[in-house]
Amino acid sequence: MKLATKFIHAGAEPDPSTGAIMTPIYQTSTYVQEAPGVNKGYEYARSQNPTRKALEEALAVIENGKFGLAFSSGVAATDAVIKLLSPGDEVIAANDMYGGTYRLFTKIFEKFGIRFKYVDTTNPDNIKAALTSATKLIWLETPTNPLMNITDIAAVASIAKPGKIMVCVDNTFASPYLQNPLDLGADIVMHSSTKYLGGHSDVIQGALIMNDANLREQLYFIQKSCGAVPGPMDCFLVLRGIKTLHVRMKQHCENGRKIAAWLRGNSKVSKVYWCGFEDHPGYATAKKQMLDFGGMMSFELKDNSIEAARKVLSSTSLFALAESLGGVESLINHPASMTHASIPREERIKNGLSDSLIRLSVGIEDADDLIEDLDKAIG
């Protein structure tokens, strides 16, 4: 099945009782049972909901997986994966990652005895060198947030497989349209469905997709027991968003290409982080494992003072200064004080995330209007 057809029809079946083409929003907390323990597959909405079930089936389809699970946020989905581990287990994670993930690892799970090692995963040898008998999970982002680093998923999976180490890939920046980590050997794919899957900045949600039935049962038990589940209206919104993912991503990519090239040609910009440049260190890997290069990028000004960055951040009109990404509208972000503020400054600087770095989520507006907006802001 071609991509466009898959995204539109994934998880979609006409409602058997009415013929409704759109999945109904089952706004119910519980279900009537025919007799004690005899039901129609649904007992209580924390355990399962028909709208959520349709979404979870759609998530599996679009990621080329067998099982999908929906959570109340991307962080809740990440939380569920780490709860597979036990005190003393080790996780190898990318040293450039979403600040909320870093906060969850360091502030919540470290105190329960789970250890985290942060390495430059763009070189698989760094992962190999960090492995110990206690390593149970490798956590990847590719492209990374916000420096757009690329990790070879297949190479990492080949390192992990002999030791039966799980590989989980945060695929939020790429989306299932551009990249399918399960096809490359990953065990779990994580999404902040808030972003490209929802696509309209109107829902908070997360997702996990996997192929292994036992792994699915373990994660479903955590989902059900801990209760970080999305409501049916949120599931409906993400189901709706998935139907247009392919057309939105094409425009995000087209606009991203134009704006990255314009930024690189701007005399006041010193560096642009976008994995679609042929001289990007991860370009060959990105081209191999991604369909296109997306609409996420970061840049630094030649005047790398925080004051100059703040002036740009406060001077756009089409690019809204806000957290998040992946919506139809363009956003501008200051990672050091916003999405990555929870990472200590010395760690950010060591990993290449400067105080003056500016991140863009390029939307699907007219690219010329977006360029004009940036031009006026940069001055």
The residues that are catalytic are: 46, 98, 170, 195
By the 8 A CB rule, do 114 and 139 touch? no
Q: Classify 44 as helix, strand or coil.
A: strand
By the 8 A CB rule, do 312 and 377 touch? yes
Q: Classify 112 as helix, strand or coil.
A: helix
Q: Are strands 296-301 and 358-361 parallel, antiparallel or unpaired?
A: antiparallel
> Tokens 């955590």 — which residue?
222
- Reply yes or no: is the peptide bond before residue 176 cis, omega within 30 of 0: no
By the 8 A CB rule, do 258 and 282 touch? no
**Separation of alpha carbons 176 and 291, rounded Å:** 10
> Tokens 């950010």 — which residue?
348
Count of residues in the chain: 379
First to last CA, the chain: 47
**Separation of alpha carbons 275 and 251, rounded Å:** 17
Cβ-proximal residues to 357 (8 Å cutoff; 6+ apart), any chain: 146, 147, 298, 299, 300, 309, 334, 335, 336
In one-letter notation, the amino acid at residue 327 is G
